[in-house]
Structure 1
Amino acid sequence: MGKLTRREFSKAAFVLPPLGGLASLMVPPSGGPRQASAGEAGPKPRKPNIVYFIIDELGYFELSCMGHKELRTPNIDRLAAEGVRFTQFLAGGCVCAPTRATLLTGKHLGHTSLRSNNGWEPLRAGEETIASMLKRAGYATGGFGKWGCGARGTSGVPETHGFDVFFGYYDQVHAHTFYPSYLIRNSQEVPLEGNPGSYLEGKTFSQYVIHDEAKKFLRANKDRPFFLYLPYTPPHGQYGFPDDDPSLAPYRDKPWPRDAKVYAAMVNLVDRQVGEILALLKELGLDDNTIVFFSGDNGGNEYFADKAARPDGLFGPNVDPATGKRRFRGGKGRLYEGGLRVPYIVRWPGKIKPGRVSDHLGYFPDIMPTLAELTGAPCPPDTDGLSILPELLSDNRPRPRPSSSSSTPNAEPAQRQHKYLYWEDCGQIAVREGAWKAVRTRGPKGVWELYDLATDLAETTDLAAKHPDILARLTRYAEEAHTPIQEGEVLDRDLVLRDRYIPLGKTIPDKPWGPPPRR
């Protein structure tokens, strides 16, 4: 065997099956266990199915289980009641495309090949994703919704990154049109009936079609392990919405702008569709062997703000309903807590204790190694995440350290903790070490700030001058974490531009490419 780098050794050493063995997390095939006769192997346990919802723009407090007085989410509330809700499992970035890249590749934003939010920019050819990892492990892999990690005509299309099928939108600007003239399946256009190309109105509401295709995938793959990835676009604008949708009814007479009514209805629509997926899992007998993840993609956007009455937005994504006071600074597009805190819930009947609230500190890069440990799939060695499976399963038994085969005295807790967490996004940098957080805004000329989140969760008191030693350590981590970007490729410029500009009825500009991401 060749030499391993320290990083490679660390990853290889810690991608272990859960305590008790992977088989303890699997269930026998339907029909229940039976005794194997002498000389006959027993039935092979089936690997767990995985459903992963990531909801565009949904804020930390925008759930009724968080006490929100306007937004109605009974099915998501049920997920929380039957699973574990995390209070500080953070987004991988503060805007759409970068945060998805961290989730899918298991890398933080100092290592991803996609670090800006232009919407078409791609992953590199051959770059590993959760889908490619699980596909090699025998999983059917399907994605339905907003991709955002490479437009058509680039190296980043999902069907070359492990997805058997991806249906919806590739370019995320296209994804913000709910009445497009077409959607995309594995890079091929699928026309939508009665949609002339206006993004606000038409006959066919795209989210209905996307959700129906997701349910078809689930039914078609009920007899094998599957990874169902659901990056649903609602409630992200634009706000075209069917007038006869039942989710609009509770808000129709509210004294709000039309867009605000539609936003609330879209949150309820997503909740309704979550409920339909849960019901289908139950109908197919898959409920007990399916782990369901539910998350926002980045911090909430303070939509429909009014400087006098609603300075934090009409729905207050970062306002604690219990107190009426703002809990987190910033929002989408900022690396303060308001841009990184997302609702995060995981449910697995019989495996995850119901109704639990976890303060474990983690972020999106942790999901790839978590799913590797869960399924027994080899995890790529260049990921930055740490498996949170012990935390999910409330498994606190110590593991041997890699330097010892004995569990004592040279042992560590089952749930490993990050040395630090790292972000670079929208011209900003943030580093988190425990409760300490350093933030630099306004690009390379910005000034570093330091906050103690244990006493100042709202990030109001800059302690950089008081603790220069701590700030120096965190800024060293930032330098260590950043590597030069290795970008993906554009293979067909015309195809890239078609999905971005044609659906909006816009003229293709001579120079459509955005600037490179600032650090």
Structure 2
Amino acid sequence: MDSKQNLTRRNFLWTAIAATSIAAIAVDAQGKTTASRRRPNIVFILADDMGYGDTSVYGQKKFRTPHIDRLASEGLRFTQAYAGAPVCAPSRSVLMTGLNTGHTRVRDNFALAGGHVGHKGKEVIRRASLIEDDRTIADYLAKGGYATALMGKWHLDGYDPGAIPTRHGFQTFKGWLTQTGSTQGYFPEQRYHNETLIDLPENAGGKQGLYGTTIVTEDAVDFIKSHAAEPFFLYVAYDAPHSPYLAPDLGSYANEPWDEDEKTYASMIEHLDNGVGQILETLKASGLDDETIVFFASDNGPRSEPTPEQTKVINFFDSNGPLHGYKRDMYEGGIRDPLIARWPGHIPAAHTTDVPVFFPDFVPTALDLAGAAPQHSDGISLKPYLLHPNRKATDRFLYWEFYEPSFEQAVRWGQWKAVRHGRGGPLELYNLNTDPAETVDVASQHPEIVSRIEQHIRETHKASVEYPDPA
């Protein structure tokens, strides 16, 4: 049944309000308000398990990322940006809903209760997923007149057939779902086009004809070309460089004196970087450069699984840079990631900022950029920082919680970073100004800071059906 036939009076009113609240206003880098031909396009490019040190512009020395570097040279690079969580699904839930992991629906790759039960291979798994009442940035922008699209990884469906991108604001979806094994991997045999499964004969029977990273790039490019005449929100969610380490070739690194996994990892990022370049060139060729703000980020720290083989690769490339920890860790290496924003003529080029920001900020930022009414979130609009990179940081708390393999929490407050292992465990406290690698716990020296952070944790964590507190 057409979803339009199911609009309740409440949803109709909500849609009307969202649509009429958007004004075609732009603010240039000097702060002058000017009439705009249209609202800006918003492109968010997300890498998967790419570490803080996995791009040249963030310090990578062994392989190159010229197109991501171009984003930074033509835009603003954040040096203290944080993902929504230390693993994939909750990080994306935070990005899409604007709610931190103390509030968002999906807080881990698995659920403690509720959700839906399914299979990952032979393993039985319970997963959380977005439900009908959850609103995403795609919902808000679509109902405000934007064309919305997701190319690639969703990871918020769990095993619920109704929790798919097209039911959460994305008018166009081309990619894969957690609940459909044939759509997964770097050479999938099938792929979703909206809610229809499409066969990929080039990859049938184990063939490796179409590479996932290339497919996502081509779909993104096609969408830009076909929607150049209207404002759009395009979410480009690559799988790379998530394990398994697999590429169609070794690219520029075939002759390096490295192990095969190391060559492959570098090539995976090269293919992703080339995809970023193609997207930028398509925007330019379509005359959309100064009409489009492009964000680039990663969903969490490096090392998809804590195996010796993957650890060797990540350590070889120093993928977490100067930071301590990997994916699944609440330390900086698990949650601090690259974030770059580029908008020619609006965001000053070749700037950096050390303002602490995190994924909940994307929803209010995108709404502010679109001129839309604000919605409830745990973030702030970064638009003032984008247009004025020298602006000083707002004093606020950033919060995370995580459940794998046991409950953990973390808080960033100014120069302070707190980490807790286990429910009710003592807080570790680090001064990131002097100890960015989190090597010296100074909690005993600053009881007043620990007490204030404890208060924020109590105020922020809310149990849910999927993540209940112990009885």
If the length of structure 1 is used for normalisation, what is the TM-score? 0.76
**Structure 2 residue matching 1:272: 3-state secondary structure:** helix
How far apart, in 2, do the equivalents of 1:312 and 1:517 lie? 35
**Residue number in structure 1 paired with 2:270:** 268
Q: Secondary structure at the match of 1:354?
A: coil
Task: Find the counterpart in structure 1 of residue 409 from structure 2.
Answer: 429
**Within 5 Å, which residues of 2 pair with 1:7-86?**
23-25=25-27, 45-86=37-78
Q: CA deviation at 1:252?
A: 1.3
Residues 516 and 149 from structure 1, CA distance in 2 versus in 1: closer, same or farther, beyond 3 angstroms? Answer: farther
What letter corresponds to residue 330 of structure 2 in structure 1? Answer: L
> Aligned match of 1:114 in 100, 106, 125?
106
Give the alignment of 1:30-429 within 5 angstroms: 45-118=37-110, 120-151=127-158, 153-171=160-178, 174=181, 177-196=185-204, 198=206, 202-243=208-249, 248-301=250-303, 313-319=315-321, 327-381=322-376, 383-394=377-388, 417-425=394-402, 426=404, 427-429=407-409
The residue aligned with 2:31 is none
Superimposed CA distance per residue, residues 397-436 of structure 1 (whole angstroms, 9 cap, x where no aligned partner): xxxxxxxxxxxxxxxxx87725211000132100111111
Q: Is the 8 A contact 1:303 1:315 kept in 2?
A: no
Contact 2:352 2:389 in 1 (8 A): no
Matched residue SS, 2:372: coil
Q: Distance in 1 between matches of 2:395 and 2:152?
A: 31
Match of 2:456 in 1: 477
Q: Contact 1:300–1:342 (CA<8 Å) still a contact in 2?
A: no
Moved more, 105-114 or 146-155: 146-155
Q: Aligned pair in 2 of structure 1 residues 67, 462: CA closer, same or farther (>3 Å)?
A: closer
For the residue of structure 2 that corresponds to 1:444, the secondary structure is: coil
- CA drift at 1:235: 1.2
Q: Is the 8 A contact 2:26 2:36 kept in 1?
A: no
Cα distance in 2 between the residues matched to 1:305 and 1:65: 27
AA aligned opposite 1:354: A
What RMSD, in angstroms, separates the aligned Cα atoms of the two structures?
2.8
Unmatched tracts of structure 1, length 5 or more:
1-15, 27-41, 320-326, 397-413, 488-514
For these two proteins, the number of residue pairs brought into alignment is: 426
Deviations 1:252-289 (A, max 9, x none): 12233322211100111111111111111111111111
Identify the residue that residue 411 of structure 1 maps to in structure 2: none
**Contact between 1:88 and 1:362, CA under 8 Å: does it hold in 2?**
yes
Residue 463 of structure 1, CA deviation = 1.3
CA distance in 2, matches of 1:225, 1:354: 23
| Distance in 2 between residues matched to 1:124 and 1:153, nearest whole Å | 9
**Residue 438 (structure 2) aligns with:** 459
**CA displacement at 1:445 relative to structure 2:** 5.7
Secondary structure of 2:214's counterpart equals: helix
Pair 1:257–1:84, CA change in 2 (3 A): same
Alpha-carbon distance change, 416 to 375 in structure 1, aligned in 2, over 3 angstroms: farther
Structure with the greater alpha carbon radius of gyration: 1
Contact 1:112/1:485 (8 A) holds in 2: no
How far did 1:469 drift?
2.2
- Aligned residues of 1:94 and 1:298 also touching (Cα < 8 A): yes
Q: Tell me the amino acid that sits aligned with residue 206 of structure 1.
A: G
CA distance in 2, matches of 1:477, 1:43: 41
Rate the CA distance shift 1:111–1:415 in 2: closer, same or farther, 3 A. farther
| Separation (CA, whole Å) in 1 of partners of 2:254 and 2:36 | 53
Q: Are the aligned partners of 2:261 and 2:313 in contact in 1 as well (CA < 8 Å)?
A: no
> 1:196 Cα shift?
3.7
221-230 vs 458-467, which moves further: 458-467
After superposition, the Cα gap between the structure-2 partners of 1:156 and 1:197, relative to the gap in structure 1 and judged at 3 Å, is farther
Residue 420 of structure 1 aligns to which amino acid in structure 2?
A: F
- Pair 1:180–1:331, CA change in 2 (3 A): same
Normalised TM-score (structure 2): 0.84
Distance (whole Å) between structure 2 residues aligned to residue 384 and residue 172 of structure 1 = 29
- Looking at structure 2, the residues matched to 385 and 210 of structure 1 have their Cα atoms a distance apart, in angstroms, of 28
311 and 59 in structure 1: CA distance in 2 versus 1, 3 angstrom threshold: closer
Alpha-carbon distance in structure 1 between the residues aligned to 2:194 and 2:73:
36
1:450 aligns with 2:429: yes
Give the share of equivalent positions with the same residue, in percent.
Answer: 40
Return closer, same or farther for 1:172/1:218 CA change in 2, 3 Å cut-off. Answer: farther
Q: 1-side partners of 2:204 and 2:346: how far apart?
A: 48
Report which stretch shifted further, 68-77 or 286-295.
Answer: 68-77
- Code of the residue aligned with 1:188 in structure 2: it is T
Deviations 1:361-381 (A, max 9, x none): 110000100111111112222
**Matches of 1:173 and 1:331, distance apart in 2:** 28
Task: Return the offset for 1:306.
Answer: 7.5
Q: Which amino acid in structure 2 is aligned with residue 386 of structure 1?
A: I
- Report the Cα offset of residue 43 of structure 1: 8.8
C-alpha distance 116-233 of structure 1, shift in aligned 2 (>3 A): same
SS of the aligned residue for 1:143 comes to strand
CA distance in 2, matches of 1:155, 1:483: 25
